[in-house]
């Protein structure tokens, strides 16, 4: 049995920061092209989407329909493959009166026998645990719903401990005899170990900021002298000293500048990640646990 995963796709994400006018839409098209390839060009018996199918709680109807069509076509063309889609934190809300794009997607694919949407927990073949993001249930309670000694658990939760209800409980998993986790949510691909549990962080389907790309395949930082000759499919950040300006004729996916003051590197400010700032997550992490639920309920209702 072969399991394959796709990291957080964040479909519907818009790329605008530093994007030349003639390149607007190119990166979105690249996301869709890879997503389609991930669904239909694999040899897995089980395909698992690691969560955050969509970039926001509500995306355009065109995005939802396109995602559902791609899943339905893949499921039809690969009838022996089982597709699982974990719910991510971007797909959920504590406001029970609202319905998300993920909810609509769930309805659209409901008729496909080999597509399963995982909003909370599910066990596959008695050996694999699936844990989607549930805003109402702490992850420790979700883990308690699973059998002991599973081979692996696929989930969409926090690896870094901010003290919330959705941090991967590696100590609990170890006590339950579960020593491998594959996790989405964190966009930087890597493998960590805690309490004897190996946590494989899949990373996002594509890196979406400089901080998420440790290979330089998508995002690169240069000086004016080191900019490569071909930047067609790169996001370039240029370190500029006093008097230097960004080139006007560079053909790239995006171009931003970062002013560097010689001898004052410790005062540098990089604002390139603000377009990905998730105020909901940041606020929930900053609020004291005893009042978090009440405050987040008010925030979500606003």
Write down the pLDDT at residue 94. 83
C-alpha 180/C-alpha 136 separation (Å) is 25
Q: pLDDT tens string for the chain (302 positions)?
A: 899 999 999 999 999 999 999 999 999 999 999 999 999 999 999 999 999 999 999 999 999 999 999 999 999 999 999 999 999 999 998 888 889 999 999 999 999 999 999 999 999 999 999 999 999 999 999 999 999 999 999 999 999 877 789 999 999 999 999 999 999 999 999 999 999 999 999 999 999 999 999 899 999 999 999 999 999 999 999 999 999 999 988 999 999 999 988 755 443 444 444 444 455 555 555 555 545 555 544 554 44
Q: What angle do CA 58, 53, 159 make, to 5 degrees?
A: 110
Q: Which pair of structure tokens corresponds to residue 43?
A: 């040899």
Domains and CATH numbers, the chain: 3-201 (3.60.21.10), 210-272 (no CATH)
Positive or negative torsion for Cα 26, 115, 108, 135 = negative
What pTM does this model have?
0.84
Residue 272 token pair? 């390139």
Positive or negative, the CA dihedral 209, 212, 214, 218 is negative
HEC assignment per residue over the chain: CCEEEECCCCECCCCCCCCCHHHCCHHHHHHHHHHHHHHHCCCCCEEEECCCCECCCCCCHHHHHHHHHHHHHHHHHCCCCEEEEECCHHHCCCCCCCCCHHHHHHHHCCCCCCEEEECCEEEECCCEEEECCCCCCCHHHHHHCCCCCCCEEEECCECCCCCCCCECCHHHHHHCCCCEEEECCCCCCEEEEECCEEEEECCCCCCCCHHHCCCCCCEEEECCCCCCCCCCCCEEEEEECCCCCCCCCCCCCEEEEEECCCCCHHHCCCCCCHHHCCHHHHHHHHCCHHHHHHHHHHHHHC
Residues 6+ apart with CB under 8 A from 146: 121, 123, 129, 131, 153, 176, 178
Torsion of CA 91, 93, 97, 99, to 10 degrees: -10
Per-residue model confidence (pLDDT) at position 283: 56
What's the pLDDT at 258? 92
d(CA 122, CA 45): 17
Distance CA 60, CA 143 (A): 33
> What gap in Å lies between CA 11 and CA 28, rounded to an integer?
8
Planar angle of CA 280, 96, 205, nearest 5 degrees:
50
Residues 6+ apart with CB under 8 A from 210: 219, 221, 235, 237, 270, 272, 273
Which has the closest alpha carbon to 51: 102, 111, 13, 110?
A: 102
Cα–Cα distance for residue pair 59/98, rounded to 1 Å = 14
């Amino acid at each position: 049995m072969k399991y394959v995963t796709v990291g957080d796709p964040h479909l519907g994400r818009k790329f605008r920061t530093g994007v030349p006018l003639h390149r607007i839409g190119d990166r979105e098209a690249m996301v869709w092209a890879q997503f389609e390839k991930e669904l239909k060009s694999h040899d897995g018996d089980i395909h698992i989407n690691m969560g955050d199918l969509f970039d926001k709680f509500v995306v355009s109807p065109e995005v939802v329909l396109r995602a559902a069509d791609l899943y339905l076509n893949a499921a039809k063309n690969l009838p022996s493959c089982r597709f699982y889609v974990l719910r991510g934190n971007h797909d959920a809300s504590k406001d029970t009166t609202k319905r998300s794009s993920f909810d609509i997607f769930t309805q659209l694919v409901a008729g496909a026998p080999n597509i399963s949407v995982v909003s909370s927990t599910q066990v596959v073949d008695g050996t694999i645990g699936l844990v989607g993001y549930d805003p109402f249930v702490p992850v420790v309670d979700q883990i308690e719903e699973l059998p002991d000694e599973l081979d692996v658990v696929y989930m969409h939760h926090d690896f870094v401990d901010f003290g919330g209800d959705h941090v991967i409980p590696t100590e609990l998993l170890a006590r339950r005899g579960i020593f491998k986790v594959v996790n989405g949510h964190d966009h930087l691909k890597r493998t960590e170990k805690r309490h004897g549990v190996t946590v494989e962080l899949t990373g996002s389907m594509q890196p979406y900021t400089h901080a998420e790309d440790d290979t330089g395949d998508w995002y690169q930082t240069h000086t004016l002298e080191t900019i490569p000759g071909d930047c067609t499919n790169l996001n370039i950040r240029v370190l500029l000293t006093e008097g230097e300006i960004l080139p006007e004729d560079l053909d790239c996916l995006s171009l931003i500048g970062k002013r560097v003051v010689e001898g004052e590197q410790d005062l540098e400010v990089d604002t390139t990640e603000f377009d990905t700032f998730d105020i909901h997550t940041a606020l929930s992490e900053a609020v004291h646990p005893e009042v978090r639920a009440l405050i987040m309920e008010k925030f979500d209702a606003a």
